[in-house]
Amino acid sequence: MMKIHIDEDKCVGGGQCVLAAPDVFDQRDEDGVAVLLVDNAPAELHDQIREAARLCPAVAIELGERAET
């Protein structure tokens, strides 16, 4: 299972994550900061999530793997 964390203090609201993985990321209306739409993204979205993290101009998306429970 993939663990996703957004460092809201780093996020600059560039929106690249939303473009790369729209089923996983969105942006708050008031300030554009990225938010997660899902807690446990299915495996078929992991490549999109990795791309979103790679494209983030502020390097605000942290990814990790966690054991299935």
* pLDDT tens track, the chain, 69 positions: 899 999 999 999 999 999 999 999 999 999 999 999 998 889 999 999 999 999 999 999 999 976 665
pTM: 0.90
Total domain count, the chain: 1
Q: Which CATH number characterizes residue 54's domain?
A: 3.30.70.20
Q: What is the pLDDT of residue 1?
A: 81
Q: Domain limits at 24?
A: 2-65
Residue by residue, DSSP assigns 8-64 as TTT-----HHHHH-TTTEEE-TTT--EEES-SS--GGGHHHHHHHHHH-TT--EEEE
Q: What is the pLDDT of residue 5?
A: 96
